[in-house]
Amino acid sequence: MQTTRLKRLLLPALWMAAVFAAVPAQGQVPRAERGDLLIRNATVLTVTDGTHENTDVLISNGRIARIGQGLSAPGDVRVVDAAGLYVMPGIIDAHSHIAITNVNEATNPITAEVQIRDVINPFDVNIYRALAGGVTTIHAMHGSANVIGGQCQTLKLRYGVTDPDDMIFEGAPRTIKFALGENPTRVHGRGANIQPLSRMGVENVIREGFTEAQRYTEAWERYQIERRTDRRAAAPAYDQRLEVLAAILRGDILIQAHSYRADEILMLMDVARDFGIERLTFHHGNEAYKVAPELAAFGAGASVFMDWWAFKFEVYYSTASNSAILARNGVRTSLNSDSPEVIRRLNHEAAKTQKYGDLTDDEALALITINPAWQLGIDGRVGSIEVGKDADLAVFDAHPLSVYAVPQMTIVDGVIRFDRETDPDDMRLHVDPTVEIEPVMLWHEEHDRCMQETGHILELLGHGHAH
Amino acid sequence: MQRLLRWFYGLCLSGLMLTVAVEPVAGQQMGRHPEEFRPATRTFAITNAQIVQAPGRVIEGGTVVIRDGLIEAVGLNVQPPFDAHVIEADTLYVYAGFIDGLSHAGIPRPRQERDLERVERPGDPPYERAGIRPERLVPDLLVHDDGSIENFRKLGFTTAHVVPRGQMLPGQGAIVQLGGRNASEMILRDRASLFAQFESARGVYPATTMAIMARWRQIYREADRRQGIAAARTADPAGIRRLEHDAVHDAFRAVVNRELPVVFRTETSLDARRAIRLSEELGFRLILADLKESWYMTDELRDEEPPVFLSLDLPEEEPAREADTVAVARNGDRVRSQADLEDEVERLEQRREEFRRQYFRNAAELHEAGVRFGFATAGTEHNQIRRNLRTIVEHGLPEDAALSALTVNAAHILGLEGQLGTIESGKIANLVLTTGPYFDEDSQVRVVFVDGRRFDYEVREVSDDVDPEAEETPVGRWDFTFDSPDGPLTGTLEIEGSPGAFSGVLALDIGAGDAQLRNIVLEGNVLSFDVTVVVEGSTYPTSFLGTVSEDAISGSATVPGMGTFPARARRISDPGS
């Protein structure tokens, strides 16, 4: 069973690696610093190839060059003595809203044209806090106010760079946020009295959007043909929103759908089949376990909370065994944080699956490494410790699934971005000198970050605050 | 009372002066308001002056001749023409008028933000509600006698790249001469830029920065498409359906053609990089304005493409903290208990100071990297500008470089170097005459020429004015005039009592009732008081400071956050009654 599982894990990885090989190499070279490093005598948790005791990992130019015993490196390469320490692949959070200055463009049911890439904030100190939890890659997402929200951005946590572009996970596929259920119906239906007011409306918004995108594509194709014979042919109106929806239909953009209920999950798979969309990842999916076989048959992924629910009506029917049920039914599953706090301890979220589902160590670790990498289309680059992959690693002082494990070092592209040995209190990159320092703790309630920036529109429309 | 005295002496010590605009000499000679007549002569000769022709190029004891709005001659051996009004400058310095890279001078603030109207579809609001008005032009919006123009001219600014106020796309910028009898006379170049900023429309699309970015791409690419169709129809309209009229996309045509540069207001490095990305993706010409954080992107700015106007706004200085003692000790220290809190606050304050200095040093560092830049004031209170310029110079920007930023660099970026920026014959007669080097704390602007039009500023040190022996009294009824930014406010001032026990009221003519004067102090012949005036429902705490000479009081009134404006009073009762 282990070997079949391994094949299942590896095959898509190999397939993605082939896809990446086709991408121009230029797009994959990080603009930011890449490092050399030799980690010695560690317990290496590869996730895809078992656990190796007393093993060295040689990092060259930001990539894993060799894994083995008795490795050596050129004299000037830093050597980390990891005897007694555990090295795992850098943790990947498939659902985050840190490191960005906007979350929701909550004004329209479809805002496919907006891009999280435009609002990356490399100064966010939450990046460092996430690094201190062993996280090396996040999927920075648009919020869930809209049925089709903005395009998301996969980032590497290269804390210290000040150019937002240096944060970008170069070569990662484009992704886009969809949101089903209560959030879009509250914001647009109840908020602005426009479709969608119900789950039926949500489905219709998507179908109409895709249909319009098909018409749009046809109009441009007609124009391209016309132009061959008629130099004076007039181009149809440009519509950036429909351009993006058309790219989804072509398979160029991976859908990441905020969803909770089983019925809406089935609905989106139906819509995807009707429009020929092959890849879907359902986020949150508190009721995904009810439709695990259907998800597996579709080949969809699920990126879920470990044990967070009952914060609104559509998330009452939940279980802490959700992720384990999904994983054991062949659904590519990940655990995400959706929170700048939970992101610091995703290894413990993964550990809970061993209590609530008896997952093996590798199965549990896959939920926060290779599986979210697959969902984001970056499993050819990260998510496991393999020669040739990016040297994105997290070093713990105990097995990361132990409640006693404390992150010691986090490495991105071979560069040590967090080191517990040198971890001063004030790690802010930028300080706004106009902000007064208050010698008191300013406590504020944490809201659902998915709904950030929807407050003003609801207030404007005479409704209360969005939670 | 004690507090006010301290404040008053503080003013004296800091060398703050009363600056009172006086009417041009030509007008005065005729005894009439200058605007009603043509001036007797439009020829001036400024003699025996320290002429700073260009940064680093000084003619000592030289003469500048101005005729009909242009500089006719400049040099050591220039003779004043027979018809010239001669200004014996003697110790005065003469500079080319300063050029402001981004300004709202002459564009009044909307009285109050309009109530946000509810729109049917927040995702598709009308252009105006979305803040998308690229077709708006400065000549239609400029108020030639708006107080802000005087405020900037008084600082030595004679030309400004003026842009409309608004949100994402407020309109097109114009090069404006800061002085003239009407808007048309002041426009040096209309349609000089397309002005853009990351100001979202509240509650409707684009409500976020990321939607502004998307909206930009959409408008630009659609404008590009329309351009192609329009060109085809111009060649031969037959068989091509006409495009619906659309002012927004039509206004973008000049941007798509690269005729019009986009001046993007970007205070932060993140915004500046966003503007650069749009420009690189779409291909338009870009100028960054009001940037405060160029140190994060020196490499990107090194080749001066895009050109930059740095903001003159700076964080407030913290007087208690000595800048050079800052040694930030961050490593190894940890807050472990409540007892460490003071140390922690101190460390946080040190980091704050570190960044405050970084903002102060921003211009110096860009200069050290070999980048030429100008300055912009759109985000700066006019009464902070001279102090901030001094702070920038004190933190390492050479005075010549600061002067270049204010003159030649700005002229170059805006394509005005043929007509402005230096004192050379043939150029526009925009000049600033100061009592000493401009960046000295004590030097004052005495005369400003805009297009050869003369504006005098009478300068007196308050401390010189204090005559402890004077036997003036403020007691009585006075006609009071305050030159507010929205035009003159008039009223009646009544003061009674005796020194140490004055009381009084100010009744404005617009009928807000009597306002009690507070802290009335007469020091020799210098009168000061505080009063809170109510105009159209808004409350303005105001401090007045001026000198009394028999039946006249002249001075200024300061409204925090708005600035200092001339104020005067004329006695309408018998002295002492």
pLDDT tens by residue, A197-223:
999 999 999 999 999 999 999 999 999
Residue B455, both tokens: 């504006």
User: Is the Cβ of A32 closer than 8 Å to some Cβ of chain B?
Assistant: no
Instruction: Please tell me the distance in Å from B331's CA to the nearest CA on chain A.
Output: 5
Q: The tokens 């005479």 sit on which residue?
A: A462
Residues A269-288 have a mean pLDDT of 98
Q: What is the pLDDT of residue B511?
A: 67
Strands (E), B424-500: 431-434, 445-450, 453-461, 476-484, 487-498
Is the model more confident about B182 or about B319?
Answer: B182
B positions 251-270 inside 8 Å of A (CB): 269-270
Q: What is the pLDDT of residue B296?
A: 98
Q: Which residues of B touch A193 (CB under 8 A)?
A: none
For residue B465, pLDDT over 60 is answered with no
Is the model more confident about A13 or about A203?
Answer: A203
Half-sphere exposure of B57 (CA within 13 A, CB side): 12
Q: What is the pLDDT of residue B33?
A: 46
Q: Which residues of A touch B217 (CB under 8 A)?
A: 113, 240
Q: What is the pLDDT of residue A107?
A: 96
In contact, A150 and A169? CB cutoff 8 Å: no
| Per-position b or e across B226-252, b if 16+ CB within 10 A of its CB | bbebbebbeeeeeeeeebeeeebbbbb
pLDDT digits (tens, 9 = 90+) for B97-124: 999 999 999 999 876 555 566 788 899 9
Q: Which of A258-262, A294-298, B96-100, B550-554 has the lowest mean pLDDT?
A: B550-554
For residue B341, pLDDT over 50 is answered with yes
B positions 180-209 inside 8 Å of A (CB): 202-209
User: Which of A101, A104, A107 is best to mutate for the B interface (most B CBs within 10 A)?
Assistant: A107
A positions 204-243 inside 8 Å of B (CB): 232, 234-235, 237-241
User: Is the Cβ of B114 closer than 8 Å to some Cβ of chain A?
Assistant: no
Given an 8 Å threshold on Cβ–Cβ distance, is B229 in contact with A234?
yes
Residue A213, both tokens: 């995108």
Is the model more confident about B63 or about B344?
Answer: B63
Is the model more confident about B458 or about B328?
Answer: B458
Closest by CA to B206, choosing from A306, A205, A111, is A111
pLDDT digits (tens, 9 = 90+) for A220-250: 999 999 999 998 899 999 999 999 999 999 9
Q: The tokens 């384990």 sit on which residue?
A: A324
Q: What is the pLDDT of residue B22?
A: 45
Q: Which of A25-34, B216-225, B523-532 has the lowest mean pLDDT?
A: A25-34
User: pLDDT-based confidence at B526, cuts 50/70/90?
Assistant: confident
Q: Which residues of B touch A116 (CB under 8 A)?
A: 210
User: pLDDT-based confidence at B559, cuts 50/70/90?
Assistant: confident
User: pLDDT-based confidence at B336, cuts 50/70/90?
Assistant: low
Cis omega before residue B437 (within 30°)? no
For residue B544, pLDDT over 50 is answered with yes
Supply the angle between the helices A240-249 and A199-229 in degrees, to the nearest 10: 100
Q: What is the pLDDT of residue A316?
A: 95
| Global pTM value | 0.83
Helix and strand counts by DSSP (H, E) for chain B: 15, 25
In contact, B212 and B206? CB cutoff 8 Å: yes
Residues A81-107 have a mean pLDDT of 97
Q: What is the pLDDT of residue A199?
A: 97
Percent of chain B's residues with pLDDT above 70: 84
In contact, A154 and A376? CB cutoff 8 Å: yes
Query: How much is the ipTM here?
Result: 0.90
Closest by CA to B338, choosing from A11, A219, A440, A352, is A440
User: pLDDT-based confidence at B56, cuts 50/70/90?
Assistant: very high
pLDDT digits (tens, 9 = 90+) for A136-177: 999 999 999 999 999 999 999 999 999 999 999 999 999 999
Residue type, B536: E
For residue B36, pLDDT over 60 is answered with no
Q: Which residues of A touch B216 (CB under 8 A)?
A: none
Q: What is the pLDDT of residue A244?
A: 98
- First-to-last C-alpha distance (Å) of chain B: 25
Compare CB distances from A439 to B341, B353, B354 and report the shortest one's residue: B341
Strands (E), B315-390: 374-376
For residue B473, pLDDT over 70 is answered with yes
User: Is the Cβ of B121 closer than 8 Å to some Cβ of chain A?
Assistant: yes
In B, minimum Cα distance to A244 occurs at B214
B positions 318-337 inside 8 Å of A (CB): 330-335
pLDDT digits (tens, 9 = 90+) for B236-261: 999 999 999 999 999 999 999 999 99
Given an 8 Å threshold on Cβ–Cβ distance, is A111 in contact with B205?
yes
Residues A23-46 have a mean pLDDT of 79
Given an 8 Å threshold on Cβ–Cβ distance, is B122 in contact with A113?
no
Phi, psi of B185 (to 5 degrees): -65, -30
Compare CB distances from B203 to A237, A424, A457 and report the shortest one's residue: A457
Q: Which residues of B touch A239 (CB under 8 A)?
A: 218
User: Is the Cβ of A101 closer than 8 Å to some Cβ of chain B?
Assistant: yes
User: Is the Cβ of B122 closer than 8 Å to some Cβ of chain A?
Assistant: yes
Residue A365, both tokens: 């670790």
Instruction: Please tell me the distance in Å from A282's CA to the nearest CA on chain B.
Output: 24
User: Is the Cβ of B239 closer than 8 Å to some Cβ of chain A?
Assistant: yes
For residue B308, pLDDT over 70 is answered with yes
CB-defined contacts A:B, below 8 A: 147
